[in-house]
Structures are given as C-alpha cells and as structure tokens.
Structure 1
Amino acid sequence: MSNTNRRKFLGTAAALCAGAAAASASPLQPADNRKPLIHHVFFWLKKPGSKEDRDKLIEGVKTLSRIETIRKIYVGKVADTEKRDVVDASWDVSEMIFFDDPNGQATYQTHPIHLEFVKNYSHLWDKVVVYDAMTV
C-alpha cells in the first residue's frame, strides 16, 4: 500500500471512529424532535396521616398505568429525608407520568380509566396540585 493510500485509509478510519463516538455519546431522539412531557401531580388527603387512605389512593393511581399514552409512571409518598426550608413535605401521594408529547397527555385527561380514577378516588383527597413540564 502506498503512503498516499495509507493516509487516506487512516484518515477515513479516524473520521468513522470519531463519528461513531459522537453518535453514541448523545441519546437518540424521535425523528420529529418531540420532547417528552412530564405530568407531576401531588395529592393532599382529606385525612392527613391516614395510612389506609394513602394506600387506597396509591392503589388507584397505579390503575392509570393501563392508559396507552403513558410511557412511564412513578407513584410516590413523602420521603423521610432531611428537613429543609425548600422541601415541601405537606402532601401525601404523588404521581409522575411521562408522555411522548402534549397530545398523549391530552388523551390521558379524557381517557375512561382516568375519569374512572377521579370518580372512584377523589373522595380521598382534599387538594391536588399539578405541574406539567416539557423536557428541554
């Protein structure tokens, strides 16, 4: 192999390696560049501190996972972490749901499973606060 061909080969190989490394370093996104929507809901029970009501509400929130536009759902209760001025531990149950886009969240809002959840479990909560965020 001549020096010219060897240089071309090494240059091409180096470019391919650099491209492969760059491609593997960034996560893949949908071709249409949609950004997932995060729907985070906090519930305050009518009977704060009631383990029975908290567990019942958690059971209800978990039924939402059957809605087809939900990509991921996390259900939580207040963590026993350090008490700081910036930490709000006044709520009882939370749900964090990931959707592909706002359309998925809109479908969720009117889905029969979601409407059934509200009908069957809203008697347990006194207050609900929702935070919707688009990922960046």
Structure 2
Amino acid sequence: MGDFKHLVLVKFKDGVLVEKLMEGMQNLVAEMDTVKSFEWGRNVLSEDTITQGFTHVFLLTFRSPNDLVTYTNHPSHLEYAEKFTAAIDKVLLFDFPPILVKPSA
C-alpha cells in the first residue's frame, strides 16, 4: 500500500494567531515518526462562496492508515488537538489513499 493522506480544512475563530498555533503543530509533527510530511497554507484566490468560509488547509502524509491511527491516538496529538479544536469555527476532514495521476518532476 502507498501513502495515506489526512486533509483538514478549517475556518479559525476571529483573533486566532494562526502562526502561533502552527508552531505547536510543527513541533508535534517533528516528534512523530509516523508523519511522513506536513504542509499547510491559507486560501488566497478563491471566493468565500466557493470555499464555504474555510480559510486554511493542512495536509499530512502517512505511510499507512495505521500510522494515521497511531498519530491521532498519541498523547501529544490529543493534547494539541484540544488547543486546535478550541481555535476553530468549523472543520472538514478527509482521510484517503491518494490516486496518483501525475507524479512530481
């Protein structure tokens, strides 16, 4: 089996310092061997009607679904998830095995 993705779309509450929150996330994924890669970004091009208010995206890559389960059940993740959840207005999650159509160059 190939990689397994964990995609998170969020809209943060007003006044949340996203960069500060991301420092904690970067520390978390750095200590977790099950996380193969982590990327995040802020929506800059789409209109609110298309994005349904979601402003940020987070993409974690794991080697397997089991690695994702290990990550989500880890005490450090559970502790961070409390802070993250308290900072968001809404969230949308997808966990999926990607279908590669065009590999990176």
Q: How many residues align?
A: 98
Whether 1:124 aligns to 2:87 is: yes
Which position in structure 2 is the counterpart of 1:108?
Answer: 71
Alpha-carbon distance between aligned partners in 1 of 2:46 and 2:87, rounded to the nearest angstrom: 28
Whole-Å separation in 1 of the counterparts to 2:84 and 2:92: 16
Q: Which has the larger strand fraction?
A: 2
Query: In 2, are the aligned partners of 1:40 and 1:130 still within 8 Å (CA)?
Result: yes
Q: Distance in 2 between matches of 1:110 and 1:56?
A: 23
Tell me the amino acid that sits aligned with residue 86 of structure 2.
Answer: H
Q: Runs of 5+ in structure 2 lacking a partner?
A: 100-105
Give the structure-1-normalised TM-score: 0.61
Partner of 2:51: helix, strand, or coil?
Answer: coil
Alpha-carbon distance change, 74 to 40 in structure 1, aligned in 2, over 3 angstroms:
same
Q: Secondary structure at the match of 2:18?
A: helix
1:113, distance to aligned residue in structure 2 (A): 1.7
Question: Residues 14-29 of structure 1: matches in 2 within 5 Å?
Answer: none
Q: Is the 8 A contact 1:54 1:92 kept in 2?
A: no
TM-score (norm 2): 0.77
- Give ranges in structure 1 of 5+ residues lacking alignment: 1-33
* Alignment partner, residue 64 of structure 1: 28
Aligned residues: CA RMSD: 2.2
**Higher RCO structure (Cα 8 Å, ≥6 apart):** 2
Q: Would the aligned equivalents of 1:62 and 1:75 in 2 still touch at CA under 8 Å?
A: no
Higher relative helix content: 1
